[in-house]
Amino acid sequence: MKKLFKSLEKTVGAFYPTFCLYHYLYKPVVEKEVELAGITKEDTVLNIGCGAIPFTALHIVQMTGAKVIALDKDPEAVRMAQHYLKKYGLDKNIEIRVGNGSPEKLPSFTVALIALHIKDKEQMLKNLKNVGSDGGRIVFRQPVEAYREEYGGLCHLDEVHGKVFQNMKTFKQSYLFVLSSKGSSQRRGGETS
* pLDDT at residue 86 in the model: 92
Per residue in 87-131, pLDDT tens? 888 899 999 999 988 888 899 999 999 999 998 999 999 999 999
Q: How far apart are CA 103 and CA 123, in angstroms?
A: 10
Cβ atoms of 117 and 171 closer than 8 Å: no
E strands in 83-189: 94-98, 111-114, 137-143, 162-165, 171-179, 185-186
Please report how many Cα atoms fall inside a 13 Å half-sphere around the Cα of residue 8, on the Cβ side: 10
What φ, ψ does residue 75 adopt, rounded to 5°? -60, -35
What does pTM read for this prediction?
A: 0.85
What is the DSSP annotation of 1-70?
Answer: -HHHHHHHHHHHTTSHHHHHHHHHHTHHHHHHHHHHHT--TT-EEEEE---SS-HHHHHHHHHH--EEEE
Query: Strands 190-192 and 162-165: what pairing?
Result: parallel
Per residue in 52-100, pLDDT tens? 889 999 999 999 999 999 999 999 999 999 998 998 888 999 999 999 8
**What dihedral angle (degrees, nearest 10) is formed by the CA atoms of 16, 92, 127, 73?**
40
| Tally of domains in the chain | 1
Domain with 129 in it: 2-192
The CATH number given to whatever domain includes residue 113 is 3.40.50.150
